[in-house]
């Protein structure tokens, strides 16, 4: 009987050790929309992974993706539990995974902007009213970008009373904001729409020749980027884990980490904050 009791105790301890080890071996994964070139994204988000790992006490891995839609798909399929989305991709992801929550956004993301930029050959100058850009060639960023496609298309349709395909000689999609700047600066496209943060960062870094390309219009503000977490994350990582992730993001104060976004800080976010984005996406037919 004593031997049997010892065996049962040993089995219980072994099972307990196995469960503990399995739980601690669980990897928390996250991704981000590819709004810049891959090397910039890896540098930025691998640093974020190390920071979150220290704060959360679990292994954290950044999973790169090739497109905005791939980021949404990875989130839907539970290949990642957390994502740095734009306004539109966040709305799309939360619609696919009910109960998922926007938990943090950059301070600046509460009032984001798009810049319209033009090649010098157009003769267009900075204007406070929407510029006459009909019959030019125009490039958006990614098809899934809020600041590089969704909101610019909305403003084009509001002011020009035409769909982009009817308003412009040629319409393109560069893929990301940096490429939009390059394409307009080189004259591949005469006009383009770009994330204002990417423009200002590139300008500060000396990557823009303002003799060749300039800002001609700044949009009204709208909500944009945010961190969104899956509804079922606590099933794998325990009660209160989503709150721990949110707290880690809100207390991120390293200048090196924040500058890489670039954001001054992160603040709380909730799904309702992005209703204007969803409304615009429905209005111009990007979502049902």
Percentage of the chain modeled with pLDDT above 70: 91
Please write the tens of the pLDDT for every residue from 26-61. Answer: 899 999 998 777 777 888 899 999 999 999 999 999
Strand 137-140 to 170-173 pairing:
parallel
Please write the tens of the pLDDT for every residue from 263-277. Answer: 999 999 999 999 999
17 pLDDT higher than 50? no
Q: What is the pLDDT of residue 66?
A: 92
- State the average pLDDT over residues 80-100: 97
Q: Which residues pair with 228 in a beta bridge?
A: 83, 102
Q: What are the structural domains, with CATH classification, of the chain? A: 2-110+224-283 (3.40.190.10), 113-218 (3.40.190.10)
- State the average pLDDT over residues 4-27: 44
- State the average pLDDT over residues 130-159: 96
39 versus 96: the higher-pLDDT residue is 96
Rg value, the chain, Cα? 23
Whose tokens are 């669980």? That residue is 26
Please write the tens of the pLDDT for every residue from 146-190. Answer: 999 999 999 999 999 999 999 999 999 999 999 999 999 999 999
Give the DSSP H/E element, type plus range, for residue 244: helix 241-250
Strand 213-218 to 266-268 pairing:
unpaired
- Please report which confidence band the pLDDT of residue 10 belongs to, taking 50, 70 and 90 as the band edges: very low
Cβ atoms of 159 and 128 within 8 Å: the answer is no
10 Å Cβ neighbour count for 39? 8
Residue 4: both structure tokens together: 């049997």
d(CA 46, CA 64): 10
10 Å Cβ neighbour count for 248? 19
Q: Which residues pair with 194 in a beta bridge?
A: 115
- Please report which confidence band the pLDDT of residue 20 belongs to, taking 50, 70 and 90 as the band edges: very low
Q: What is the pLDDT of residue 249?
A: 98
Q: What is the pLDDT of residue 15?
A: 40
Percentage of the chain modeled with pLDDT above 90: 85
Phi/psi at 62 (5° precision) = -90, 130
d(CA 58, CA 37): 28
- Please report which confidence band the pLDDT of residue 9 belongs to, taking 50, 70 and 90 as the band edges: very low
Q: What is the pLDDT of residue 114?
A: 98
d(CA 233, CA 259): 28
Three-state DSSP class for residue 115: strand
- State the average pLDDT over residues 221-248: 96
14 versus 129: the higher-pLDDT residue is 129
């Amino acid at each position: 009987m004593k031997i049997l009791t010892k065996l049962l105790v040993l089995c219980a301890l072994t099972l307990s050790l196995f469960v503990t080890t399995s739980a601690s071996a669980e990897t928390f994964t996250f991704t981000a929309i590819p709004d810049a070139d891959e090397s910039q994204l890896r540098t930025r988000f691998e640093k974020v992974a190390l920071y979150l790992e220290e704060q959360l006490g679990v292994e954290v891995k950044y999973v790169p993706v090739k497109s905005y839609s791939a980021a949404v798909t990875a989130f839907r399929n539970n290949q990642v539990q957390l994502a740095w989305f734009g306004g539109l991709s966040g709305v799309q992801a939360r619609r696919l995974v009910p109960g998922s929550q926007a938990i943090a956004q950059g301070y600046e993301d509460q009032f984001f902007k798009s810049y319209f930029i033009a090649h010098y050959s157009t003769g267009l100058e900075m204007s406070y009213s929407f510029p006459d850009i009909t019959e030019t060639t125009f490039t958006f960023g990614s098809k899934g970008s809020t600041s590089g496609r969704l909101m610019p298309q909305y403003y084009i349709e509001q002011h020009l009373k035409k769909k982009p395909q009817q308003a412009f000689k040629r319409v393109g999609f560069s893929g990301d904001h940096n490429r939009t700047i390059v394409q307009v600066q080189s004259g591949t496209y005469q006009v383009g729409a770009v994330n204002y943060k990417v423009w200002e960062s590139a300008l500060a870094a000396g990557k823009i020749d303002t003799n060749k390309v300039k800002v001609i219009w700044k949009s009204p503000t709208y909500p944009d980027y945010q961190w969104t977490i899956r509804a079922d994350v606590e099933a794998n990582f325990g009660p209160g884990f989503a709150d721990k992730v949110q707290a880690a993001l809100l207390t991120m104060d390293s200048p090196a980490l924040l500058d890489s976004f670039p954001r001054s800080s992160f603040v709380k976010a909730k799904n309702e904050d992005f209703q204007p984005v969803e409304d615009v996406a429905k209005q111009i037919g990007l979502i049902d």
